[in-house]
Structure 1
């Protein structure tokens, strides 16, 4: 049995070599677990849309084996209906396109402020630290009502939770630190409510443990993914000046480009594990009850059946039904916010700094091959 492909080969922007060799196959994770790997677009949507493939799973990264667990309270990404439905329903209306558009002026202000700071930074500057990470961090902190000045309390622990090289003990310790900080924050909010989503949820009847789980999920997912897309997307566009010029043109051009960048990069790839809750048939193969499945979103988004020339970046192409945000009941709750942040950040960056360029050769850029979310640790740039 082959190991799950992880080597991206010559191009750091492509899925791991060999990932899509078969639409459905058994592979071995680095922790020794055996899982079904799904890579074809229609099969990925089938798995992610079928709740008989249970989401109540913990682990799957290196030293942490897969096993069915009682999910942490509030962590609805690891829940099945009806509990998943109950918690997600409390949040869905708060992340609509209309709600997110109300944040546009504030996001534009944050982007401008970060560009000011980037221009003042010594050169070469780290685009991740000065621009890509602060934007979604500031936005999600304001949205949730988490003090941005306390970001060190969650960013370090959040990074550890996404590190593929962590042991069970290290991950549990990081979760305890993050949960402890948020429990203390929620206690402060109960004593003196403020403005923010967490403050609003105090009146929802949720327990403090559920609020902590929701906060952990939204806090980590709300800044890590978008930060990596901004930095990795910038790096990719710097390699394609003609595509970059299109992004710089107008808000509508940027909107089209964002979806193509999401499809092409697919920074969340095989982390969506599922467990068959009964015997199931998939592409003519029986998946037995209790067996585990993982979907390669990157391979699915490069499926030739999805669109013509999927291996080519074309930021002006019409939107394809990609699965970069997942699919089905667990499709990313914050996708409208992530899109908006990128639609504002990319053109603003390229207009303010038309001479933006890499300060190091591409092969010297430290990619996050050790993280559950793909991206770059640093991106040194000049202009």
Structure 2
């Protein structure tokens, strides 16, 4: 036991001697992570309005819209009123926007991919609707480059047209019924038509009939900023392998055999190495966490990211940081033990770590991932790391998440020790 404690003491001392290098490397890595996040944020902001642009073409648009008699053109006013009404429905507002233009501009917009669809409204359409004449609206799609956007809009138009046809058939059948069998009750036709219209409108405007709601903007109840802060924390821990590679490097085969002869197993050396490096990173993250909590008093905006509000939550978050760092360092130690080459170990940790983060929905929301990838991501260690990071900044650390990460620590340490034992005993 004394020899094991001596080994642990040496590993901790070695890690503390590397503190300047680790701090400098952590700062450089943090700057890199922040730079990447900023670039992603800028790109996301530039593409923030991803709604489909749909051109609405009405005959003689230029004359109607720009002339003094625009208000006198009831046909165009009703057309615009209808599209404005539709565009305010949440289901439509979140998917597309309507722009009024002439036919040539609409065609040009389709050719340069500015518009995804063009709706050509026929002349006297409102008058035809009022008289019961079925005048079709022309929908123009791009002749090439059909993508998911145009397919979605096509299905929306098809579904809307089907519902409209059903409603028209119901209304006309109702009128025929009152004009024939129920002609003695024509006085009640207006009241019953209004009720029927209410039924059709309530059906058409009920989003749950057509769409299933799924929140894809957050995970674990996080805001977008909190989500990417947690992503940066996990990424920073995994990329720390670049800084602490010298401390995580395994023993030579001869030294490993000497340690075995002294009664120190491969599991013991892995625990000692992980603990030495882990203590340094735990201290760094604990200090940063405490400083940020103090800064909240003078910078209220920080409270929008760090939501720890009670002493109990603060203590739980402190404990969570210990488990989070130790689990991440255990993962790094496992890779170094299996690969047994410093350069390839660093590369493996970075590539495998980023792949696991992506599959776990830590880089982009899991709602955007393939179903199979989402299922796999739920059982990856990065999912446990990310969940714990989320709970730390929210002050909601729970025992189940702690135990999940403790289980991963045991698995990583056991796997690393097994790899060292196999290589040592060959």
TM-score, scaled to structure 1: 0.26
- Judging by fraction of residues, say which structure has more helix: 2
Larger Rg: 2
- Judging by fraction of residues, say which structure has more strand: 1
